[in-house]
Amino acid sequence: MDKNARVYIAGHRGMVGSAIMRKLQREGFNNLITRTSAELDLRDQAAVAGFFESEKPGYVFVAAAKVGGIVANNTYRAEFLYDNLQIQNNIIHSSYKNGVAKLMFLGSSCIYPKLAPQPLKEDYLLTGRLEETNEPYAIAKIAGIKMCDAYRAQYGCNFISVMPTNLYGYNDNYHPQNSHVLPALIRRFHEAKRDNTSEVVVWGSGKPLREFLFADDLADACFYLMQNYDEPGLVNVGTGEDLSISELAHLVKDVVGYQGRLTFDSTKPDGTPRKLMDVSKLNQKGWKYTIGLKEGIWLAYQDFLEKHA
């Protein structure tokens, strides 16, 4: 990547987009193009086409998406499908029309079948049924992967896809209903500590296994792959290590410093039993994560205290 090239980061204010932006700035990229959702509605085909025609970015990171946890995914099913399809269709097509040198599409580990063998290899895509609660979001992301591959096959576009595992970090979403599990736990334990609540109840049995990657590690991997990966298909990005939701909850409890009881409500949904990424493809390309989970949770909690507490 030419450091003087114009680089468009779609979704630059989100957790992933802001991490990519910080990484590029640290690497000396100063010709970054950004638009807030108020300035550019990425669901609007004509607006996106006009933006690309006027700005002519050389590189594009598609980190913009409608995202949320299990409740949001299951509640706003139509929006999660429509909005995400519109966003990625408009950006990918306009990138092709305007000669973007390279595009990175960011998906999610939820693209894999609910009961796929563990750890999840890239070639398990479309080999089984999806987890029902986040099926609309997963279908949109699968469509994005296939769209990048189709534009590569038909038009020769250098469009690549990366599938991150569960992410957390700076600028995370701490909404009480619509956030993912790790930020939700940070908020819940913080509020319980603040209010001197005797007990925190966590949704589900605590048995599902999950993998977590700090968003700045993801940004580092994205930058590395933009330099070193030019193939169809997708690349998993994660740690290759997981833990139970129960273990995660106790870890967050310790980092926040909450002293009360921790219980689990097994009447609430668990989601996919396990979701561990096989990251051997990425490791063989020469990249590995650096921020451990406890350190990352501490960094995220400091960010929460600064921006939300």
Give pLDDT tens digits for 237-251: 999 999 999 999 999
- Annotated binding residue 108: yes
Topology annotation, domain 7-171+212-240+276-291: Rossmann fold (3.40.50)
- Annotated binding residue 14: yes
Chain centre distance of CA 140? 14
Return the active site residues. 137
Residue 209 CA to residue 182 CA, distance in Å, equals 13
Q: What is the pTM of this model?
A: 0.94
Residue 107 CA to residue 101 CA, distance in Å, equals 20
For residue 269, pLDDT beyond 90 = no
- Annotated binding residue 100: no
Q: Per residue in 96-129, pLDDT tens?
A: 999 999 999 999 998 999 889 999 999 999 999 9
Q: Per residue in 286-307, pLDDT tens?
A: 999 999 999 999 999 999 999 9
- Annotated binding residue 180: yes
Q: Could you tell me what percent of the chain has a pLDDT over 90? A: 88
32: which strand partners? 7
Alpha helices in 126-180 (DSSP H): 135-155
Q: Could you tell me what percent of the chain has a pLDDT over 70? A: 100
- Annotated binding residue 13: yes
Q: Per residue in 205-239, pLDDT tens?
A: 999 999 999 999 999 999 999 999 999 999 999 99
For residue 68, pLDDT beyond 80 = no
